[in-house]
Chain A
């Protein structure tokens, strides 16, 4: 096309648009003309739309008596797409049945207008649900949800961040919330008002179903409430994240159950739920008799306080093996809420509980192992790498075992691990760390032992610690976790802390007790004790020499004073 030709065409096009626009603007009937007869619609409100735009077949006034019905979808066609899927559409309800098209703000009809008294008899915790969420939460297409919890303590500054977030991880968990509730009940005598606001965002309010969504949508393991916020109002107002599952409890679902170890082995609901009563230990011992034999002799069972289901949730997809140390701690912490306070003697209490589970010490007969997992170092915390992350790097349908175990001997050596971590670091261009935790690999159900703390760091932080004999790297798979043994002898020669951003601690450090033991021992035993000190000898010698230096200086000072006189 030549330039000249293009120029003429453009001029023609502009002229055509001008004519078209003028034709319609002159053809439309002004609102005043309509309102001359239809007085009751004066002051009508439908955005900036004129009468003639909906009543499109009026070309002049007076108009025909019979007019075509206005078509809402001329403008609201995206809404219509949603509405087509709604029960209201199937029931042939029109826009006008819910909306006052001439006065949008007038006579707003909500669900109760047509459904004033729905029994909701099958809805569990009916009152709670009906007060907390609107109809669309269950009958609409809910997409996301978040919870706002507000506590107003008046103007008293009784609640601080530390009171709620005891482990300072900026997230209030079940235990912290429970302890906190007790505290405010005590200190504020129940005067603090707790307002819970469940905010559910739906895809489009025009999609309404008769059949409500499954309970799982909110109460499943991956419910829509991913986020909850706690706002504490007092002298100083502050906000903190809180586990949404505290307020929207997780319930078992049949789909999820099929993925559990019980589900996979073909155990069906009625195998355990033989009546409407809670599942008793007897049901469990039908299969787990040997475990129960150990358990029934322990303090937990004897006091009749703890049933199997108090600790184990057979509906959980994650098996106990797949829980990390801190998740396992949570199992015990449901009852033993004061576990942090009781372990104050342990340096870095919170840090230890991130990597250690209770049974590491309180079930001496359990077999302990060390579990490693790969994580990306973020700004605040580390995030364990998921299967999807590995898929992004190595492509889909990958066998993690082949990737990490380069010599294919089914055991990971330290070199293989280092090589893998370094290559991940390069590929992701991010700092990869190997997280480790001490986990019980074979559980012995006797936790009766109390005061098991020997308070000796070297029991774990040493080369011969029992868990170094059973080390596994855990890698995510499409379903579940892959455990590959790590060659222990090599890793234990080089303390595992090389991977974790922890300082090495352990038997290389001397303690008061060591020095005491040395001085209290017989002369004959002293060389033996010194020999046993190993690397601690550095401190022993160091402190001794410092002592002698001070002694020497003191003598020097004394001589200076005495001789001068």
Chain B
């Protein structure tokens, strides 16, 4: 094996488990949102799968969160430093222009500095804002009667649904870009192999 892994083993395992959970949630989410798209035969099954994979996502998120909290990874990998802010234009320029010319990526990932500033912004938004919102609203959905007071405070089921779905759409936007960007390494699979 050549090179070293940028991400530690637990995070690599977490990433792929989380990826699986997210894919299942998206597929079932599509049918829940658009019942005329029949992916599974029974609508009820879809509800149940979505519910339990939602719980799995909650557990997965908590693992990720506490892992970084304990290893103080948030400060290291997610906090935007002054240098990062300065590097944003260069990074953006690279994706929009340099990459076509075959220029080098201005950011070289290492174990201590995994993400470029754009990645930091994207990942922090998804993992620290969007995911918690989806998880929180999802949990409220899991027992509407039990969380009745909370749901009422938010503005009713309709608003809760809107928040959940808008966050889900943002997650999907991010996911599409994330998947495409993962192929922009030296070779198509370079980033995926995370070395």
A contacts, CB < 8 Å to B: 347-348, 351, 418, 421-422, 457, 493-495, 497-499, 503-505, 508-512, 535, 538-539, 541-542, 545-546, 549-550, 553, 556, 559-560, 563-564
- CA A457 – CA B177 in complex, angstroms? 33
Among residues of B, the one whose C-beta sits closest to the C-beta of A559 is B100
> In the complex, which residue of chain A has the Cβ closest to the Cβ of B159?
A535
Other A-B pairs, 8, CB within 8 Å; known A418-B148, A542-B166: A422-B145, A503-B47, A505-B35, A553-B180, A559-B100, A560-B99, A563-B101, A564-B102
Q: Is A549 in contact with B177, judged by CB distance below 8 angstroms?
A: yes
A504 touches B161 (CB 8 A): yes
Nearest CB on B from A46, distance (A): 62
Q: Is the Cβ of B169 less than 8 Å from the Cβ of A553?
A: no
Q: Is the CB of A509 within 8 A of B176?
A: no
Which of A348, A508, A546, A560 lies in contact with B100, CB distance below 8 A? A560
Partner of A546, one of B151, B157, B158, B172: B172
Report the Cα distance A502→B110, complex, angstroms.
48
B156: which A residues are within 8 A, CB to CB? 493-494
- Taking each of B151, B157, B162, which has the highest tally of chain A beta carbons within 10 Å of its own beta carbon? B157
Q: Which residues of B contact A563 (CB under 8 A)?
A: 100-101
Q: Which residue of B lies closest to A562 (CB)?
A: B100
- A493-B156, A505-B35, A546-B172 given; A348·B43 CB < 8 A: yes
* B169→A503 contact, CB < 8 A: no
Task: Tell me if B36 is interfacial: C-beta within 8 Å of chain A.
Answer: yes
Task: Find the B residue at minimum CB distance from A422.
Answer: B145
Option from B38, B43, B99 in Cβ contact (under 8 Å) with A351: B43
Measured in the bound complex, the distance between the Cα atoms of B152 and A549 in whole Å is 35
List chain B residues, Cβ under 8 A from A549.
173, 176-177
Find the B residue at minimum CB distance from A495: B157
B162 touches which of A418, A421, A498, A508 (Cβ 8 Å)? A508
Residue B69 interfacial (CB < 8 Å): no
A residues less than 8 Å from B100 (CB atoms): 559-560, 563-564
In the complex, which residues of chain B have a beta carbon less than 8 angstroms from the beta carbon of A493?
Answer: 156
Most buried by B among A422, A505, A542: A542
Task: Give Cα distance in the complex from A541 to B151, angstroms.
Answer: 25
Question: Are B165 and A510 in contact (CB-based, < 8 A)?
Answer: no
Which chain B positions have C-beta within 8 A of A556?
Answer: 180
Q: Are A347 and B36 in contact (CB under 8 A)?
A: yes
CA distance A507 to B157 in the complex (A): 13
When each residue 83-116 of chain B gets 1 if its CB lies under 8 Å from chain A and 0 otherwise, what string results?
0000000000000000111100000000000000
A546→B102 contact, CB < 8 A: no
9 interchain pairs (CB within 8 A)? A494-B152, A495-B157, A508-B161, A508-B165, A535-B161, A538-B169, A542-B166, A553-B176, A560-B100
Q: How distant is B160 from chain A, measured CB to nearest CB, in Å?
A: 9
B52 to chain A, nearest CB (A): 14
Nearest CB to that of B33 among chain A residues?
A: A509
Q: What is the distance, in angstroms, from A195's C-beta to the closest C-beta of chain B?
A: 35
Let me know if B34 is at the binding interface, CB within 8 A: yes
Contact of B34 among A418, A510, A546, A560 (CB under 8 A): A510
A-B pair count, CB < 8 Å, reads 81
Given the complex, which residues of B lie within 8 Å of A545, measured CB to CB? Answer: 169, 173
* Complex interface: chain A residues within 8 A of B43 (CB): 347-348, 351, 503
Distance between B181 CB and nearest chain A CB, rounded to angstroms: 9
Chain A residues closer than 8 Å to B177, beta-carbon distance: 549, 553
Bound Cα distance from A449 to B74, whole angstroms:
65
Q: Tell me the complex Cα distance, A348–B166, Å.
A: 26
- Distance (Å) between the CB of B41 and the closest chain A CB? 11
Distance in angstroms from A545 CB to nearest chain B CB is: 6
Query: Does the CB pair A418–B176 fall under 8 Å?
Result: no
Closest Cβ of chain A to B150, distance in Å, is: 12
CA distance A457 to B35 in the complex (A): 10
B122 to A: closest C-beta gap in Å = 13
Contacts of A511 in B (CB 8 A): 34, 36
The verdict on B127 contacting chain A, using a C-beta distance below 8 Å, is: no
Given A508-B161, A508-B162, A546-B173, verify A418-B36 contact (CB < 8 Å).
Answer: no
Q: Which of these, A347, A497, A498, A553, contacts B35 with CB under 8 Å?
A: A347
Q: Is B32 an interface residue (CB 8 A)?
A: yes
B19 interface residue, CB < 8 Å from A? no
Write the nearest CB–CB distance from B133 to chain A, whole angstroms: 14
Enumerate chain A residues within 8 angstroms of B166, measured Cβ to Cβ.
Answer: 538, 542
Alpha-carbon gap, A503 to B165, bound state (A): 14
Q: Which of B31-56 contact A (CB under 8 A)?
A: 32-36, 38, 43-44, 47
Asked whether, in the complex, the Cβ of A539 is within 8 Å of the Cβ of B33, the reply is yes
A494, B157: Cβ atoms under 8 Å?
Answer: yes
- B148 shortest CB reach to chain A, Å: 6
**B121 close to A (CB within 8 Å):** no
Q: Which residues of B contact A498 (CB under 8 A)?
A: 144-145, 148, 151, 157
Whole-angstrom distance between the Cβ of B116 and the nearest chain A Cβ:
17
Q: Which residue of A lies closest to B183 (CB)?
A: A557
> How far is it, in angstroms, between the C-alpha of A504 and the C-alpha of B43 when the chains are bound?
12
Whether A499 lies near B145 (C-beta < 8 A) is: yes
Given A351-B43, A504-B157, A564-B100, verify A535-B34 contact (CB < 8 Å): no
Q: What's the least CB distance linking B182 to chain A, in Å?
A: 12
A191 to chain B, nearest CB (A): 33
Q: How far is the CA of A553 from the CA of B176 in the complex (A)?
A: 9
Docked CA distance A495–B161 (Å)? 11
CB-CB < 8 A to A538: which residues of B?
A: 162, 165-166, 169
- Report B18 CB to chain A, min CB distance, Å: 21
- Does the CB pair A421–B145 fall under 8 Å? yes
Q: B42 — nearest CB in chain A belongs to which residue? A: A348
- 10 shortest interchain CB distances as A-B pairs: A563-B100, A542-B169, A498-B144, A347-B35, A553-B180, A494-B156, A503-B47, A348-B43, A559-B100, A549-B176
